[in-house]
Structure 1
Amino acid sequence: MVMRDNGDIVTDTEDSDTDDMPPLEDVPEEEYLAPDALTLVARRALSLQTKGVEEVQREKIFHTRCYIKDKVCSVIIDGGSCTNVASATMVEKLRLPMVKHPRPYKLQWLNDSGEIRVNKQVLVAFRISKYEDEVLCDVVPMQAGHLLLGRPWQFDRRVKHDGFTNKYSFVLNQRSITLVPLTPQQVYEDQVRLQK
């Protein structure tokens, strides 16, 4: 199957009966269809409800805001990222001191400018509500946000992610901390600001 830009779906074998599925057996209708089966299907379709507030988080990446040097910055927590990342633009604007990366490497997935050589790191002190921390980040020209907390941060803090609510919880200095994501509207506002 191929999905085109306009949303049409095209297959090579649309009208073909040569699928890899086995043929259906001839079974009398009364053996597999209850007399009121259609009514049950109709009732089920009519009882569907809209998504609840919690379900909105199902496909969402975790976004929040933090303070770095008393400036509001956007944060993404991503369990799929094998490194913590700081935006090169943020590092420059806030004049955060960078150091040479002990093991430089190349990246390609954070923006559309091709392959990037990652050869600088920065120690970022940030605050989210009452939670204050420092994290060592690789410096890259990232457009998605200012700070990306990946697997190293999650591992070091023994973070637990509740996939249903999209909340992150951990204990730091004998204090329980739960990070709550922004609403989709707040994320959209942050993304608009980042584009400027």
Structure 2
Amino acid sequence: MILRGQDIYSSQDEATTSPSSSEDEKETSEEEKCEVTYPCDGELLMTCSLIVDSGSWYNCYSTRMVDKLGLTTTPNPKRYQLHWLNDDGDMVVNQQVEVEFSIRNYKDKVKCDVVLMEACHILLGRPWQFDKKTTHDGLTNKITFTHKGKKFVLHPLSPSQVVEDQVQMKAKHDQEKEFGNKKKGD
């Protein structure tokens, strides 16, 4: 599942139901009772690309974001090597960072391994899914979980939105590279 700041999600606590005499309307699913909401703009709003991946044994955060935001890292007590996140071969993962993020009213803090990756900024793997006791609907690709007593349903991007997101990330990355090369030339 890929999410970004403009993504849709729903929250049980924001559910709106209206009284109805129709039996059909009373039989709406729990999800339909949830209000679909969008994130709002704010002074410090930063849109990040986020992937929820049940195949990943780790929560990961991009080295580019750590550098860009000036986040403080700590040594990873269990160093390991990764290969699949980029084309540069094996890399040693030896740093961690605590990342605060939010998707509308869902605010959380996650300890992530710092890795060089191009696919996204934040990768939430099995540790996050286990901690949140997430449920994945394989048909709709929605992820449901409860956080601080509130139920959340995360909806995936459409395939065209995924392509758009990846194109924007690549353009931004290329722009940062070009800017970095110009600075080195000065």
User: Could you state the TM-score of these two structures normalised by the residue count of structure 1?
Assistant: 0.66
Indicate the structure whose relative CO is greater, using CA pairs within 8 Å and at least 6 residues apart: 2
Cα separation, 2, equivalents of 1:194 and 1:135: 22
Please tell me whether Structure 1 or Structure 2 has the larger radius of gyration of its CA atoms: 1
Moved over 3 A (4+): none
> Over aligned residue pairs, what C-alpha RMSD do you find?
1.2
Quote how far apart the aligned CAs of 1:184 are. 1.5
| 1:65 alignment counterpart | 4
Identity %: 49
Quote how far apart the aligned CAs of 1:94 are. 1.4
Match of 2:98 among 109, 119, 123: 123
Q: Per residue, is there more helix in 1 or in 2?
A: 2
Runs of at least 5 residues in structure 1 that lack an aligned partner in the other structure: 1-61
| 1:38 alignment counterpart | none
The alignment partner of 1:72 has SS state of coil
Match of 2:131 among 156, 164, 168: 156
* Amino acid aligned to 2:105: K
Number of aligned residue pairs: 134
* Amino acid aligned to 1:138: D
Match of 2:141 among 141, 166, 169: 166
Whether 1:80 aligns to 2:55 is yes
User: Could you state the TM-score of these two structures normalised by the residue count of structure 2?
Assistant: 0.70
Return 184-193 or 147-156, whichever deviates more: 184-193
The alignment partner of 2:47 has SS state of strand
| 1:23 alignment counterpart | none
Whether 1:105 aligns to 2:44 is no
Runs of at least 5 residues in structure 2 that lack an aligned partner in the other structure: 6-38, 172-186
| 2:119 alignment counterpart | 144
| 1:46 alignment counterpart | none
| 2:158 alignment counterpart | 183
* Amino acid aligned to 2:93: V
